[in-house]
Amino acid sequence: MVMFPAKLTSHLMAELTVEQFSGLFDKKIPPETLASLAKSASNGNLESIDLLHNIALRHDSEGRKAENILFDLFSGKLPAKKGIDKEIQETSKKLYQLHLNTKIKTHLTDSKLTTPSKLLYIVGSAIEKVIDKISLTKLLMKNEPKGSTLWDNNRMTTSDEIDASNKNNPTLPSNMTINCSIGLMQNGYNLLADVIEQKILNNKTLDKCELFPININDNHWILAVFYQPEHKQDMKCVVFNSYQNVSLEITNEIAKAAEKAGIIEKDITYIEGNIQQQVPNGCGLFVVEAIKQLTENNQQDPYDTLKEFQENFIKKTMAEQKEFNIQNRRQLYSNYHDSKYLS
């Protein structure tokens, strides 16, 4: 463990008892101790942030818990004082710079500062040199476009990231299915139509609300929802698109797929409009968030939920929309990392 040259101040002692502090070095750290550290760190206590970083370096479950606390504070998933992400970034960067010191580097060849980790993602967000960011990107995520980094605020979301975010959704109701992301067309074939046809062959009908993250033209994500409104026999389809209206060619292909589910064209509704001004290339982020809204509001008609989401986002301030872009990209990586390395 690499210890920071920081003093245990009276402020920190007010958050942790002597027994709790001593317990930080045990194999198992009591949950209430980590909870106290998380609360203290969320209020901006630098000593607590330092301690969480030290614990996060561990390669056991306690290290993973501390790393998740730090990342959830950094990404906005956990409530915290404004600017806490900057303080966590600064501490992570100092730790990384300490690691680069040759005196300790040889002892950390298998550390979370040299292998894919959430801690290393935070480091990448804090360092300034693009060449260093590119180097860390290659380590954290394969097949990233040349010259692109994970921290670009206009980076396109991958299907792996979308699927990881939808995997094991804690709020997924039993009457809803989130399908794996697919391209609408491949080699002239309508993949969405094929998937729906196969589902109907297996089940005779689409008996659940079906959510399909769909990539169109290899560069844009939309969400198609097939569902049966309450107290109605006919199924409907609503398409959520965070950018300008899709082309006639695309609507025709979606209509062909919907037809497989017995949905006629007049029962397909599009919720469209560019809400990406402060979230460039954020179509994947909006699809993930739209799915989250649907799973959390499953008693409401999907159209109403998605329309409400669009309208509420438009009402956000420019600063809030930018924050959505930053925080959701960070949380997207967290889900991807857990899916790839912890499953």
For 10, 105, 127, 314, 327, the CA distances from 318, given in Å and listed in that order, are 40, 43, 25, 9, 14
* DSSP character string of 120-177: HHHHHHH---HHHHHHHHHHHSTTPPTT--TT-TTPPPPHHHHHHHHTT-TT--TTEE
> Annotated catalytic, 99?
no
> Annotated catalytic, 11?
no
Report the alpha-carbon angle 30-77-90, nearest 5.
Answer: 80
Q: Which residues contact 297 (CB under 8 A, 6 or more apart)?
A: 305
Identity of the residue numbered 21: F
- Active-site annotation holder among 99, 209, 237, 283: 283
Q: How far apart are CA 326 and CA 76, in angstroms?
A: 9
Identity of the residue numbered 297: N
State the residue for tokens 């409401």.
Answer: 300
Secondary structure letter of residue 218 according to DSSP: T
Dihedral of the alpha carbons of 114, 142, 122, 315, in degrees to the nearest 10: 180
| Token pair in block for residue 339 | 């899916």
For 62, 232, 274, 289, the CA distances from 301, given in Å and listed in that order, are 42, 12, 23, 17
Handedness of CA 168, 169, 173, 179 (dihedral sign): negative
Q: Which residues contact 327 (CB under 8 A, 6 or more apart)?
A: 75, 76, 77
On whether the CB atoms of residues 89 and 125 are closer than 8 A, the answer is yes
Q: How far apart are CA 213 and CA 16, in angstroms?
A: 45
- Active-site annotation holder among 53, 99, 220, 337: 220
The residues carrying an active-site annotation are 220, 283
